[in-house]
Amino acid sequence: MRIRQGADSYELSLPADMLESVLRDADRMAADTTALLEPLYRLRDRLRARLLEEEQIITVPAQDEQLALGAVDGGSVIDQLYAADRLVVCALVAEGMYTIRTGEIHHSVWTQVLAHQPDLDRLASAVMTCLELNLLRRIGYRVRIFDGSHQTPVIALNSALSSANPRVRAITAQIVEETEAVDALRLLCHDTEGARIVGLPKADSSTDFRDKYKRDYSFDLPPVTDRVLATEVLERGEMLKPRKPENWHRLHVFSRRGTGDDAEQETDPRVTRHVQQTAERLDDAIEPLRHCRETGHGIGITYLKPHSSNTCVKVEYKASAGIEHGTWLAGVLSAEVPGPHVQEPYGQFIADLWAKNISTAAEALAAAILHKMSGERWQPYLSLGYRTRAAGGHQ
């Protein structure tokens, strides 16, 4: 990268020839994008008419009921410093736009300094999951939004407990116990007791609806995601008829076993046993998700286009509560999306903003730690990083 030194700071820019090379591809990429999306546009009216005929599109009644709604989200920062890694993890709750105000702001934080080691990203994700689950269980809102899929905590906890790093496995098991994450995960997955919790995944590459319509109604649909397809065929205030998820019967939580070839070994058999027991209890808690294909059990998945929005929200709700419950939830969520370009309910949007700003708290914590350590000869090792900053120099 080229560096131009200004009066007060370093300015970085790409080499001009590299920028020119990237921009040279604009025509081709615009044509490729048109080739991908235009077939869906041409099929839109016919597909919509067929879906209405097959009762695959459901009208969502406008919802003016005021109720207590809260959204849970989390964030994490891993500062990779010269001598150690500093982890700051949080979870928090934001209230909905039209909800009955409780006046409470719920949050949880976890901080740690650890030596450089593998899989700390897995640890941070698992800790964040545990904090989020704990909040979901403790808050008393009538509708509780979980930022993610019901699969998300399963994947995060399984990843950490199957890490090749024994410290990551041990700390994860400890945090699961401290946050009572097993009970919270059981509540999230339960067919009836968890009916007040709705999952709203944002990262989404699913094509199950598209594949169903292509197979059942013989439409030659392009390879777009379900979210794009739903956004194109739905009008405001509509949702797709819910479907059951595929392959969730394979969901599991395991701990790493047969670690004889690992570079590091857990020497305390009590810790190994605790990790295994924790994984077994978590795996038992997600049992309802493995029965998703059974009638009256599991999760219903749909896409909702709110009354005021141009885009769709993916919704996961408890199918055991029936499609009427799903439609009611869709109405509640629709009322919480305030504008045409907002892609999530207001509470989820605010919780996401707050969670992302954990980086501000992490920077303040870093300054406070250095102040506490002033005069220590190793202080520079905890103020310097080894990664290049966008603005030049090193952290």
pLDDT single digits (tens) 1-39: 333 344 444 455 678 888 889 999 999 999 999 999 999
Enumerate the β-bridge partners of residue 388: 394
* Structure tokens belonging to residue 211: 């594949």
DSSP 174: H
**Residue from 169, 174, 65 nearest 120 by CA:** 169
pLDDT higher than threshold 50 for residue 394: no
Q: What is the 3-state secondary structure (H, E, C) of 337-372?
A: CCCCCCCCCHHHHHHHHHHHCHHHHHHHHHHHHHHH
pLDDT, tens digit (0-9, with 9 covering 90-100), for 103-162: 666 899 999 999 999 999 999 999 999 999 999 999 989 999 999 999 999 999 999 999
Q: Any idea where the domains of the chain sit in the sequence?
A: 57-360
What is the model's pLDDT at position 8?
Answer: 45
Q: Which residue has the higher pLDDT, 342 or 7?
A: 342
What is the model's pLDDT at position 15?
Answer: 83
Q: Rg of the Cα trace of the chain?
A: 24
How far apart CA 236 and CA 53 sit, in angstroms, is: 18
What is the model's pLDDT at position 9?
Answer: 45
How far apart CA 44 and CA 75 sit, in angstroms, is: 38
pLDDT higher than threshold 50 for residue 393: no
- Percent pLDDT > 70 in the chain is 92
Kindly report whether the global pTM for this prediction surpasses the value 0.85: yes
What is the model's pLDDT at position 386?
Answer: 62
Strand bridging mode 69-80 / 143-146? parallel
How far apart CA 81 and CA 142 sit, in angstroms, is: 43
* Structure tokens belonging to residue 284: 């038992």
What is the model's pLDDT at position 293?
Answer: 79
How far apart CA 93 and CA 146 sit, in angstroms, is: 10
- Report how far apart, in Å, the C-alpha atoms of 164 and of each of 60, 63, 134, 172, 345 are: 48, 49, 26, 13, 38
How far apart CA 250 and CA 253 sit, in angstroms, is: 10
How far apart CA 37 and CA 223 sit, in angstroms, is: 9
pLDDT, tens digit (0-9, with 9 covering 90-100), for 236-279: 999 999 999 988 999 999 998 766 777 788 888 999 999 999 99
DSSP 162: T
- Contacts (Cβ under 8 Å, ≥6 apart) of 176: 126, 130, 157, 182, 278, 282
pLDDT band at 306 (very low <50, low <70, confident <90, very high): very high
- Report how far apart, in Å, the C-alpha atoms of 116 and of each of 38, 83, 372 are: 49, 7, 22
Strand bridging mode 69-80 / 57-59? unpaired
How far apart CA 53 and CA 50 sit, in angstroms, is: 5
Q: Which residue has the higher pLDDT, 2 or 222?
A: 222
How far apart CA 260 and CA 180 sit, in angstroms, is: 30
Contact 71, 97 (CB under 8 A): no
pLDDT higher than threshold 90 for residue 311: yes
What is the model's pLDDT at position 5?
Answer: 40
- Contacts (Cβ under 8 Å, ≥6 apart) of 369: 86, 382
Evaluate the CA torsion angle 214, 219, 220, 224 in order and state its sign.
negative
SS3 call for 301: strand
pLDDT, tens digit (0-9, with 9 covering 90-100), for 32-62: 999 999 999 999 999 999 999 999 999 999 8
